[in-house]
Structure 1
Amino acid sequence: MAGTKCRSPNPDLVDRWIAAGYGQGDGACYKPFMYVRDVPSIGTSSMVKSRVTGRTHHYLSRQEFKVHLEAEYSRYTKNIREQYALLPLAETQQIASDLGVRHPTYPTTKTPTVMTTDLLLTLDRPSGEQLLAISVKLAKDLTPRNLEKLLIEKVYWNQRGVKWVLITEKEISTHRVNNLCFFELSLADDCVLSSPITPEDFSRRFEANCRQGLSFNAIMAKSTRELDLDVHTGHALLGQAVWSHQSRLDIEKDTLTHRGSVFLKEGA
């Protein structure tokens, strides 16, 4: 079934979406312009609870979700806003006109589309907070028409002095993202709160038990047995240690699997 924002809206309906605050604002109350429910489901959308913002984020493609994981893992990220609306609408229309390209419209209508940026990050840098606007595309989707729309987006952010970048699958670290996915559910696992063992302490025990030839499952079983924990809690503790940069697990070298080998960072 088509989502609620894919039903050939007229300008009045678009104005109501804007007035309702979609794709605007900041903090935990931020509402993305597009939710997962708003688009046709093709099996690639994702919803994920963020430890950075404390809210559930909505991503319309698997690639956007992967970039979110990278942003979530970064020590510098203070805020993440997905599907950020490029407003006022008249500004993107003017940019398109100046560039001599067509402004996008909603399918089967002449209603101008509210353009959005996939992720808008607030980064904590030594010089102060900085914004970073990110568009996410598969390389195969960089058609001439999509490049025109990306150019409108780039100019919009450049006019505000905000850095804009385009990320394709070529810029995403496969092993790191896969391993963050491996521990993704740990982020919102409440069993960690009631554990007498901290994530960092559990990771130290796990690391001490790492031996060549032992699988992840074998090391996990040994570590949880020694600390009198269940495996589920152990996995959640280790995951939170990884996400908090408190673990020596090397998530860059290879993709973790339950039956695969575990690598530790050298010299850490």
Structure 2
Amino acid sequence: MANYVQNARTYEKWDKEGRGQGQKETYKPWLTIFDVPSEGKSHRIPSFKLKREITAFSDLEAARVYQLENDCSVIDYNEQYPLNRNRTLAIANRPEFAFTHPRIREFPIVMTTDFVVHYADRIEAEQIKPTSKLDNDRVLEKLKIEQAYWEEQGIKFLIKTEKDFPLDLRKNLQWLHQPQWYQTPEHLLRAFAAEFMELFTRYPNDRLADIAEYLELNSKLARLQEGNGLMLLRQLFAKHYLTFDLMVYFTRLKGRDISFNKSKVM
């Protein structure tokens, strides 16, 4: 059962549980789906990159999780990351802000950032909001506190909306997620990628599903059953042996739309 109460006793308990602490597979988010009402549909997404389950409180957050999972430049990411309450209270009380700090029943709560993303050369903090929320003055006040918090630490703060996640992009990212767990040996993936690229060059105007069938009938590497060609193709995309424009839904792609990732194949 959900329990949306936040108070000093709750925070002491969460601290002892290790919430907001850890890295990669050991990180625990500050908030779970049992602690706050979700914005629409909540999701529990297995992470191949972090080897743990990720909780997303909305469809937009889920889209960002799939995108982070697919991004090779992302080393780690923390969802529902807690901000130091003393700092956010101090920011809210500054003359240039003079905002009321977020509270529940007059208790100043710990603010959270939806995602803190770790790249090799930088860290970025992100809040995911539908554009309809950005017309709300109170929402904007909270975002300004959050922005000041991160910028004081030299960390870029970003707001992402549904405009950053068109429907075709979302569908492609979900399509590419599961094949990350497939365990075809790398030497075979490289060889299959080369066979596919040969077919893409030979049939530039044919759809991917058709080209996958050609591979099933003509592969020099293995005898493939019906459907295995498309499964291999998904795996090659998911593991970045082959690439395509993620803004174009995969069912509309043709041979000419696919590229080799030379760093993986050569």
Q: Please give the TM-score of this superposition, normalised by the length of structure 2.
A: 0.81
Q: Are residues 263 and 23 of structure 1, via their aligned partners in 2, closer, same or farther at CA, if it must alter by over 3 Å? A: farther
**Secondary structure, in 3 states, of the residue corresponding to 1:166?**
strand
Equivalent position of 1:202 in the other structure? 192
Distance 1:9 1:266 in 2: 50
Distance 2:194 2:49 in 1: 24
Equivalent position of 1:242 in the other structure? 237
Equivalent position of 2:131 in the other structure? 139
8 A contact 2:209–2:230 mirrored in 1: no
**Secondary structure, in 3 states, of the residue corresponding to 1:120?**
strand
8 A contact 1:69–1:180 mirrored in 2: yes
Q: Are residues 179 and 16 of structure 1, via their aligned partners in 2, closer, same or farther at CA, if it must alter by over 3 Å? A: same
8 A contact 2:204–2:256 mirrored in 1: no
Distance 2:176 2:27 in 1: 25
Equivalent position of 1:256 in the other structure? 250
Q: Which amino acid aligns with 1:67?
A: R
Distance 1:134 1:262 in 2: 34
Q: How far apart are 1:92 and its partner, in Å?
A: 1.3
Q: Are residues 136 and 63 of structure 1, via their aligned partners in 2, closer, same or farther at CA, if it must alter by over 3 Å? A: same
Percent of aligned positions with the same letter in both sequences?
Answer: 26
Distance 2:127 2:188 in 1: 37
Q: How far apart are 1:95 and its partner, in Å?
A: 1.4
**Secondary structure, in 3 states, of the residue corresponding to 2:103?**
coil
Distance 1:160 1:91 in 2: 11
RMSD: 2.7
Distance 2:209 2:66 in 1: 24
8 A contact 2:208–2:255 mirrored in 1: no
Q: How far apart are 1:42 and its partner, in Å?
A: 6.5
Q: Which runs of 5+ in 2 are unaligned?
A: 261-266
Q: How far apart are 1:36 and its partner, in Å?
A: 3.5
Out of 100, 103, 106, the residue aligned to residue 101 of structure 2 is: 103
Q: How far apart are 1:84 and its partner, in Å?
A: 0.7
Deviations 1:69-105 (A, max 9, x none): 3322223211111111112x22212211222111112
Equivalent position of 2:114 in the other structure? 118
Distance 1:21 1:199 in 2: 40
Indicate yes or no: 2:80 matched with 1:83: yes
Q: Are residues 221 and 177 of structure 1, via their aligned partners in 2, closer, same or farther at CA, if it must alter by over 3 Å? A: same
Distance 1:84 1:56 in 2: 15
Q: How far apart are 1:229 and its partner, in Å?
A: 3.0
Q: Which amino acid aligns with 1:203?
A: A
Q: Which runs of 5+ in 1 are unaligned?
A: none
Distance 2:209 2:259 in 1: 24
8 A contact 2:93–2:99 mirrored in 1: yes
Out of 18, 21, 27, the residue aligned to residue 21 of structure 1 is: 18
Equivalent position of 2:223 in the other structure? 228
Q: Which amino acid aligns with 2:249?
A: T
Q: How far apart are 1:113 and its partner, in Å?
A: 2.0
**Secondary structure, in 3 states, of the residue corresponding to 2:80?**
strand
8 A contact 2:124–2:155 mirrored in 1: yes
Distance 1:114 1:152 in 2: 12
8 A contact 1:175–1:252 mirrored in 2: yes
Distance 2:259 2:208 in 1: 21
